Structure 1
């Protein structure tokens, strides 16, 4: 059995995934994070924030005194909440499924929040689909770099913009079984 990767230990929790998504592309104070996630109790939120800080997935980028306490401003840390190739290989099937279902759960929650707003103007920003691409082992890093370059101008808040969630999933298709359908006498 494969050992679970350290990043999976930290981010597979649905609350932590939601915190990471809230901080994607922006900095928030702990109060703003609480406002963005009102269904999570303060103690639970702070416990998960502490775990994410300890794992260097989020970072404290500023602190200021507010009425005798210290208010922290948080952002994504040096280690983004993405499992790298070695960590993905270290996970067994159940762990991969759990991490993917956590991602899908957050995606579904985001869509439900969009629907609950019942704002027809938001539909102008909605889009989803699936495209098949063909890549070799050397192509994937180039593709990811090109996507990152294309998205770079849109990763920070600017006047007149709206925050959108952009999810991406790469799911490789297994090679076709060329022996299926062949007669047993045709196989050598």
Structure 2
């Protein structure tokens, strides 16, 4: 995984996508990451962490000795994990379909873990919906910039006990059918 290759090639693997999602807005030690992803074997997790580090999607922000081993603290790296419009245009239909399914699979896994938790109070934080927008590409850029500004204060853990949520967005252009 070269650091100058398409970011989609790196992050759109189901395990790597989950690692990136776990690190969003916070730092985690490798032990904390293992605890957050208990269904991923240690060897698999470390292999995917190494690929993400090599691609500069995640970074080692601290290393310390713990019982003779080196424990690393990880955070999102310089490249972050954003597949931009240029990369989306370069993807084949098959690659784009696989990327979208990886995204949906990760989202569905998070939802399953939420349901499996059995914590009814967490439902106060749940919401999902769908609605139309009528935009140009310029309008969309304005909306995205506004959302980025609105969400900026909530993207990092201030350490005051706030609950971490996952905000997923999907922009899916509707295709006119002959009957519309």
Query: TM-score normalised to the size of structure 2?
Result: 0.92
In the aligned structure 1, how far is the partner of 2:71 from the partner of 2:49? 13
Q: Indicate the residue corresponding to 1:35 in structure 2.
A: 35
**Deviation per residue, 1:132-172 (Å, 9 max, x gap):** 11211212221111001111111111313101111001111
Greater than 6 Å deviation, 4+ residue runs:
none
Give the match's secondary structure for 1:138.
Answer: helix
Farther off after superposition, 9-18 or 97-106:
9-18
In the aligned structure 2, how far is the partner of 1:109 from the partner of 1:57? 22
Query: TM-score normalised to the size of structure 1?
Result: 0.88
Structure of larger gyration radius: 1
Q: Indicate the residue corresponding to 1:161 in structure 2.
A: 162
Residue 67 of structure 1, CA deviation: 1.7
In the aligned structure 1, how far is the partner of 2:103 from the partner of 2:83? 12
**Deviation per residue, 1:64-107 (Å, 9 max, x gap):** 11122211110111112121111101101111010000000010
Q: Indicate the residue corresponding to 2:48 in structure 1.
A: 48
Report the number of matched residues.
174
RMSD of aligned residue pairs (Cα, Å): 1.4
In the aligned structure 2, how far is the partner of 1:101 from the partner of 1:136? 26
Alignment of 1:98-137 (within 5 A): 98-137=98-137
Farther off after superposition, 161-170 or 131-140:
131-140
Residue 6, structure 1, aligned to residue 3, structure 2: no
In the aligned structure 2, how far is the partner of 1:77 from the partner of 1:131? 33
Q: Indicate the residue corresponding to 1:26 in structure 2.
A: 26
Q: Which runs of 5+ in 2 are unaligned?
A: none
Q: Which runs of 5+ in 1 are unaligned?
A: 182-188
Give the match's secondary structure for 1:141.
Answer: helix
Q: Indicate the residue corresponding to 2:172 in structure 1.
A: 171
Q: Indicate the residue corresponding to 1:90 in structure 2.
A: 90
